[in-house]
Amino acid sequence: GAVVSQHPSRVICKSGTSVKIECRSLDFQATTMFWYRQFPKQSLMLMATSNEGSKATYEQGVEKDKFLINHASLTLSTLTVTSAHPEDSSFYICSGEGATEAFFGQGTRLTVV
Amino acid sequence: GIQVEQSPPDLILQEGANSTLRCNFSDSVNNLQWFHQNPWGQLINLFYIPSGTKQNGRLSATTVATERYSLLYISSSQTTDSGVYFCAVDNFNKFYFGSGTKLNVKP
């Protein structure tokens, strides 16, 4: 299957700082990638749809100014959590769609202290 | 959005036992996938199965799209099968996840 690489896998940052998470499709081109958030013992919730060369589409309730998404190329999307607070601590996962099915990155566990 | 319900929420098995996990969804979908989330959070693709039946080793899955449900069968379970199993459906390029089934296989 296709490979989606996400980096970093784990990050701890201080409250008020920004954190960037990268999501790369290694062996396919993705005009669309997706970002999800997962709180402990809960399911994955779609945050936003990242569109190559255009603005991201955010789900209701997701602050676009806090979660900045850039999809600069067909193989790279980035999520920047700005002015992070402890409540932003979560597991963030990206995905890209291959020819038929979606493939997910390894996830990034963000802890804001 | 589409509602996705999985059952049971928790399942404890003795090694070697068989099990069936169910996923119900509320609307027509373009895609349905089953995933296994390992303890590190990685989502492992199990099946891409918008309809029909597929088998891969001890795992098999069936989706009846007209009745809006999918089943994941695990036979001769092993301790390494433990983890959370998610069903996710795709409608208009948006994935909606079920709440998952947490499986614990005991030796």
**Nearest to A41, CA basis, from A110, A91, A104:** A91
The predicted structure's pLDDT at residue B106? 96
More confident residue, B91 or B2: B2
Residue B93 pLDDT greater than 80, yes or no: no
Residue in A44, A95, A100 to test binding to B, most B beta-carbons within 10 Å: A44
Q: Do the Cβ atoms of A101 and B45 come within 8 Å?
A: yes
Mean pLDDT of the A27-56 span? 90
The C-alpha atoms of residue B59 and residue B49 are separated, in whole angstroms, by: 13
Query: pLDDT at residue B12 above 90?
Result: yes
pLDDT digits (tens, 9 = 90+) for B34-83: 999 988 898 999 999 999 999 999 999 999 999 999 999 999 999 999 99
The predicted pLDDT at position A97 comes to 79
Within an 8 Å CB–CB cutoff, is residue A102 touching chain B? yes
d(CA A24, CA A53): 15
CB A42 within 8 A of CB A96: no
Q: Which residues of B touch A42 (CB under 8 A)?
A: 99
Under the banding of pLDDT at 50, 70 and 90, the label for residue A31 is confident
Of A43, A46, A100, the CB nearest to B94: A46
pLDDT of residue A53: 85
Residue A112 to residue B79: CA distance in whole angstroms: 33
Is B31 close to A1, i.e. CB distance below 8 A?
no
